[in-house]
Amino acid sequence: MSANTAEELPAVSVIMPVLNEERHLRTAVRHILEQEYAGGLEVVIALGPSTDRTDEIAAELVAEDPRVHTVPNPTGRTPAALNAAIRGSRNPVVVRVDGHGMLTPGYIATAVRLLAERDAANVGGIMHAEGETAWEEAVAAAMTSRIGVGNAAFHTGGEAAPADTVYLGVFRREVLEKLGGYNEEFIRAQDWELNYRIRQSGGLIWFTPELRVSYRPRPSIRALAKQYKDYGRWRRVVTRYHRGSVNLRYLAPPAALLGVVGGLVLGAALHPAFLAVPGGYAAAILLGSLKEGRGLSLKARAQLPVALATMHMSWGWGFLTSPRSLARRVIASKAPEPGAVGGNLAGR
């Protein structure tokens, strides 16, 4: 890269919402600071009310590198943290990274290049789930398989192309300011909701497999079930908030849940023939696990069907039980206004 090219590169602000991330925070920040990017770089960590050593580790990172800053997020909510970090940042390109996400080498340079080449509002890539235990390896395999998450390119990969949404995202700051940032009423699904507004405003969301972020899955069945229940619950809110945004992929988990539960009840009460539906689902999960479990340890392969079923059933339950009152509250809330995130490109 020539000196002139380096001087023309836009400075980048990496925003990171964190809550109880002592396990991965230091490594995640190291993956950011070690990016080979010739333009300016800052990291803004939005600190929620953690109960572990997250704040202490963040303070150490600030003391060790002047590019790292922190801002408070007393609510602990992810969209509020993201907006607080945007307000506390200053650069024209905004990169979202989670406290347990690990950027791969060249991530920022590639994303900045694609923003310019595609004239995109947001670019992103693959959520590359990687486990550190047998259970996490099973969840990672489930989260990167079509039987686990459908045809979402940011989970399973695919060709570079326009997309409905991408994992995390690298944004033009001007787009975030124009749309008012993240809608803080969306405790979950805030990425999908923001990307929907970007597309409705005429902006391009660009997916590319060139971008990968290593992701650490939830460490237990209970944590995974809560995560996917929340996903389903808030995706239903999105479909009620933005009419017409639902697609068949979102309806598959609730349909599977209704089929399994209905088949078990009717099979026990009326006729064993109704057990064909839950039996068929179980067979599909087992066969899919044989395929997706190749290369995993024996312990991880044994847990893969559990991970898949937990994801499907929890997502479906969250979607079906998402209260209309929650959607009404979101709909009645004040929508983000242009400039609401308070962008300040001149400095803090």
State the pLDDT at residue 343.
42
Q: Tell me the CA end-to-end span of the chain in Å, nearest whole number.
A: 30
Tokens of 142: 């489930």
pLDDT greater than 70 at residue 221: yes
| Token pair 């229940």 in the structure block, residue | 229
Tell me the per-residue pLDDT of 48-96, one tens digit each, with 9 for 90 and over. 999 999 999 999 999 999 999 999 999 999 999 999 999 999 999 999 9
| CA atoms within 13 A of residue 55's CA, in its CB half-sphere | 11
Backbone phi, then psi, for 96, in 5-degree steps? -90, 130
pLDDT greater than 80 at residue 155: no
pLDDT greater than 50 at residue 342: no
Angle between helices 54-64 and 25-33 (to 10 degrees): 30
Domain boundaries, the chain: 12-131+150-217
pLDDT, mean of residues 212-225: 91
pLDDT greater than 90 at residue 127: no
State the pLDDT at residue 327.
85
Instruction: Return the minimum-mean-pLDDT range out of 71-80, 176-185, 337-346.
Output: 337-346
pLDDT, mean of residues 156-170: 88
The answer as to CATH 3.90.550.10 being correct for domain 12-131+150-217 is yes
Provide the CA 247 distance to its chain's centre, in angstroms. 18
* Rounded Cα gap, residues 115 and 78, in angstroms: 25
Instruction: Return the minimum-mean-pLDDT range out of 83-97, 136-150, 154-168, 330-344.
Output: 330-344
Provide the CA 219 distance to its chain's centre, in angstroms. 17
Q: How far is CA 112 from CA 14, 168, 245, 266, 288, in A?
A: 12, 14, 29, 55, 37
* Rounded Cα gap, residues 72 and 46, in angstroms: 6
Backbone phi, then psi, for 12, in 5-degree steps? -120, 140
pLDDT greater than 70 at residue 299: yes
* Rounded Cα gap, residues 175 and 27, in angstroms: 29
pLDDT greater than 70 at residue 102: yes
